[in-house]
Amino acid sequence: MSESGPVKIGKGSPEDPVFVGVGELPSGRYPQRSFIGDLTLVALRALKDAQMAPRDVDTIILIPNLHSFNDQADLIFSRLVEELGLNGHAKASFMVHSGGSTSDNAVRVASGLIASGHARTVLVLQCERWGSANLAEMVTMLSKNGIPGEWELPTGLQFNAIGALITRRYMHASRSSPSDMAAMCVALRQWAQLNPNAMYKGKSLTVEQVLASRMIADPLHAMECPMLADGAAAFVMTSAQNAAKRGIRATVRIAGSGGCVSHYSIGQEADLAVLGWPTAAKRAYEQSAWGPKDADFAEIYDSYAAVTAIAVEGLGLAEGGEGARWFAKNSTPGGKFPCNTNGGLLSAGHTGVGGGMALLIEGVRQLLWRAESERQINGCERCIVGGTGGSYMDAQVLLLERVASGVSA
Amino acid sequence: MSTAIVAAFREGLERGELLIQKCAECRKLNMYPRYACPFCQSENLHWQRSTGRGRLHSFTVLRMGAPEGFEADLPYALGVIKLEEGVQLLARLLPDAAGDWGSYVCDQAVELAAPPTTQPQYRPCAWFRRSNVSR
Ligand SMILES: [Zn+2]
């Protein structure tokens, strides 16, 4: 069954929603930075990248933070309208939330608003302060949110255990070894060396180091678990017509999108080594009329290596059961099929809901040919973006393609 | 958690029974229990006692970073159990004879067990052990 998806407008249509700019602040531990300050600065970076000013924006979509409910209230209640000087000018400012897949759903919302004429230019903003937050409080929060209180909370489930349940089943089903899984972490770390915004830039990693690190939740070692980080990211979308009118020559459009929400509780996932990826991929490929062989690279949520190994199989990039080995072999810098070129959540830093956002804007940045030269994929035109939220409740796929001078490059 | 279905499920656990919700209209089993049948939307829902037999879909041993209130339980193991009735749930796993969980593997047969007496605090959740292990 094919889903209708977001409002689908053909390539070359004046109302085709397109990305025109992205902005990002470095991920890591930055106690001196502030939440509203980072949101303001990252908004201005994205607007500058889009050759726009705040007054060019009529709608702001906020990606939630997980570090503070008080800060969340500032997102919900339009503080950024005031910070950016858009009082009386902005039509709407609101939050969208589906955990780690929020960025994918925010793209769908922004696209629908633009295509239907409810918005002309949408600014999407995200900031997380996990790296500077109280770790014990964050662990407690992550052990309650997204876990059914009636049925699973009494077991003592928490986020690393959820990642471990998926990793164990994936390793069993695919006969992947601990070294196979660790090699994915090493590949991500190699990308992080080329990303000035990555938390682990300047810190090398080997398979031996991963396997020698402390066991946290069998079979996950400490260095296979994501490090909580501060970070901020933003992007700007407008209609193809408006981009052309403004003289913007390179944009990125959405060729198709597909999603599958396969569970809420980790205990109710039918197959922890498959998740929703095959269904989401099929829906996205049907809508776009392109397939895995048409993509030049991918940016896929990677809070644990197995999550991404499962995704590359479901997306048809790797043969069934070969996801982890395929990734380590092909997706490194200089490899046949680059993946997670910012270093991913595991090496750029886990900025909460921002982890997916960082991957998404890295995909757009690469397609706009604006990544730093040492990691820019030369001449890239098509990217698969994959996201997932909560207890890996969903698989979200966005198929992005570069459009230059009003026509697809 | 004061709703009737949660209370009934937990009272079952205290008696050593794992209860599966059964729809009186379409006869389908619901796990986890629901407030209306997700198959036919009926609110006429009853209970069926599970045989307690199933297969271990996946499991983990948490060694660090317990949620607040679970620190004294560490290390402890969690597993996703596929019951022979065709429904599934997350449960705790009893350690094997060596005091760890080294003998557990995915897809092996498991069965409902009583919580271990060494457990520092009663938890209203199901416990399972390997079927071929005598205690
Ligand atoms: Zn029913």
Cβ proximity of A198 and A349 under 8 Å: yes
The pLDDT, as a whole number, for residue B97 is 86
Look at residue A161 and tell me if it is in a domain. Answer: no
The complex's ipTM works out to 0.96
| pTM (whole model) above 0.90 | yes
The pLDDT, as a whole number, for residue B134 is 46
Closest Cα in chain B, distance from residue A403 (Å) = 44
Question: Is 60 exceeded by the pLDDT of residue B1?
Answer: no
Q: Tell whether A144 lies on the interface with B, counting CB pairs under 8 A.
A: yes
Look at residue A263 and tell me if it is in a domain. Answer: no
A154 and B123 within 8 Å at the Cβ level: the answer is yes
A139 and B89 within 8 Å at the Cβ level: the answer is no
All residues of chain B having their beta carbon less than 8 Å from the beta carbon of residue A169 are 57-58, 80, 106
For residue A163, the one-letter residue type is G
What is the per-residue DSSP string for A188-208?
A: HHHHHTT-TT-TTTT----HH
All residues of chain B having their beta carbon less than 8 Å from the beta carbon of residue A164 are 60, 62
Vertex B67 angle, CA B64 and B69, to 5°: 110
Look at residue A95 and tell me if it is in a domain. Answer: yes
Question: Is 90 exceeded by the pLDDT of residue A1?
Answer: no
H or E stretch covering A306: helix A305-314
The pLDDT, as a whole number, for residue B135 is 43
The pLDDT, as a whole number, for residue A8 is 64
Average pLDDT over residues A77-95: 98
Mean pLDDT of chain B: 94
The CATH number for A25's domain is: 3.40.47.10
Task: Determine if the peptide bond prior to B32 is cis (ω within 30°).
Answer: yes
Secondary structure (3-state) at A1: coil
| Residue pLDDT, tens place only, A334-374 | 999 999 999 999 999 999 999 999 999 999 999 999 999 99
Q: Tell whether A319 lies on the interface with B, counting CB pairs under 8 A.
A: no
Query: Which residues are CB-neighbours of A161 under 8 A, at least 6 positions away?
Result: A217, B60, B62, B78
Closest CB from B1, B90, B107 relative to A149:
B1
Look at residue A41 and tell me if it is in a domain. Answer: yes
Look at residue A108 and tell me if it is in a domain. Answer: yes
The residues of B whose Cβ lies within 8 A of any Cβ of A are 1, 3, 5-6, 9, 31-33, 57-68, 70, 73, 76, 78, 80, 88-92, 101, 105-107, 123-125
Closest Cα in chain A, distance from residue B106 (Å) = 7
| Residue pLDDT, tens place only, A321-333 | 999 999 999 999 9
If one counts the domains in chain A, the total is 1
Q: Where are the domains of chain B?
A: 4-49, 53-130
Question: Is 50 exceeded by the pLDDT of residue A408?
Answer: no
- Which class for A43: exposed (0-12), middle (13-18), buried (19 or more C-beta within 10 A)? buried
Average the pLDDT over each of A8-12, A92-96, A199-203, A393-397 and give the range with the smallest value.
A8-12
Domain around A62 = 17-133+229-245
